[in-house]
Amino acid sequence: DARVTQTPRHKVTEMGQEVTMRCQPILGHNTVFWYRQTMMQGLELLAYFRNRAPLDDSGMPKDRFSAEMPDATLATLKIQPSEPRDSAVYFCASGFLLSGSLSGELFFGEGSRLTVL
Amino acid sequence: KNEVEQSPQNLTAQEGEFITINCSYSVGISALHWLQQHPGGGIVSLFMLSSGKKKHGRLIATINIQEKHSSLHITASHPRDSAVYICAVLDSIIQGAQKLVFGQGTRLTINP
């Protein structure tokens, strides 16, 4: 049963600490998205990759956030230093992008709930 | 004005009722997703459609590209359908790249 795996599921940390969230996309998918969900803003796109190359990270605060795909089986989202306003649920999703359009369903991970004190 | 608007924001109904959730968008899109988020937080993609209608069990999704409008219908609703339903559109921003834009979600509660 293929699924997107995210770790950690929950993270509580203090302001100023580094936080790294990891995502294992579904094997064969070439597109990975990072989203953030808060009560106030709903779901927001932070960044996404196609074939491991970053295509759009305009939704991400560049001074403290960074997203990478060191290989096809791992995507990371790092926050350094973390701030209380970063508290949210961070979702990873993967799919298959063909000729500029997602050719199938999007599959979401279960999310990483981050609390920054 | 949000690029994707859903209505209603909240909906409470009795078990068995026919449910309709609407989504209107203002951007050019290549596809539209309906997502379901349960109270536990997990998100499941229900449908991806770019034209016409799709049906899966008691769920039906329709889209009218000309009117920039989509609807999600649930027939014979059940308490387990209680969730937040989110409309998301794929907004083409540059060639080969797409941005997923989300509606604010519709919170559906089905009472037994």
Quick one: CA dihedral A116, A56, B86, B44, positive or negative? Answer: negative
**Stretch among A74-83, A98-107, B55-64 having the lowest mean pLDDT:** A98-107
Whether B95 has a pLDDT exceeding 80, the answer reads no
* Contacts B45 to A, Cβ<8 Å: 105-108
Question: Pick from B30, B45, B104: which is nearest to A105 by CB?
Answer: B45
Are the Cβ atoms of B104 and A106 closer than 8 angstroms? no
Integer Cα distance of A26 and A90 in angstroms = 17
> If you measure CA to CA, which chain A residue comes closest to B40?
A110
Q: What is the pLDDT of residue B21?
A: 98
Q: Which range scores top for mean pLDDT: A22-36, A40-54, B89-103? A: A22-36
Max Cα–Cα distance, chain B, nearest Å: 48
Are the Cβ atoms of A43 and B97 closer than 8 angstroms? no
Q: Give me the DSSP letters along chain B.
A: --SEEEE-SEEEEETT--EEEEEEE-S-EEEEEEEEE-TT--EEEEEEESSEEEEETTEEEEEETTTTEEEEEESS--GGG-EEEEEEEEEEEETTEEEEEE---EEEEEE-
Q: How far is A85 from chain B (nearest CA, A)?
A: 20
> If you measure CA to CA, which chain B residue comes closest to A43?
B102
**Stretch among A10-14, A55-59, B8-12, B70-74 having the lowest mean pLDDT:** A55-59
Integer Cα distance of A30 and B27 in angstroms = 25
- pLDDT tens digit sequence for B26-35: 877 778 899 9
Which pLDDT band, with edges at 50, 70 and 90, does A99 fall under?
low
Integer Cα distance of A84 and A76 in angstroms = 20
Residue with tokens 């339903």: B85
Q: What is the pLDDT of residue B100?
A: 76
Name the amino acid, one letter, at B55: K
Name the amino acid, one letter, at B66: Q
Whether A98 has a pLDDT exceeding 70, the answer reads no
CA-to-CA separations, A88 to A10, A43, A55, A85, A111, in angstroms, rounded: 10, 10, 23, 8, 10
Whether B43 has a pLDDT exceeding 70, the answer reads yes
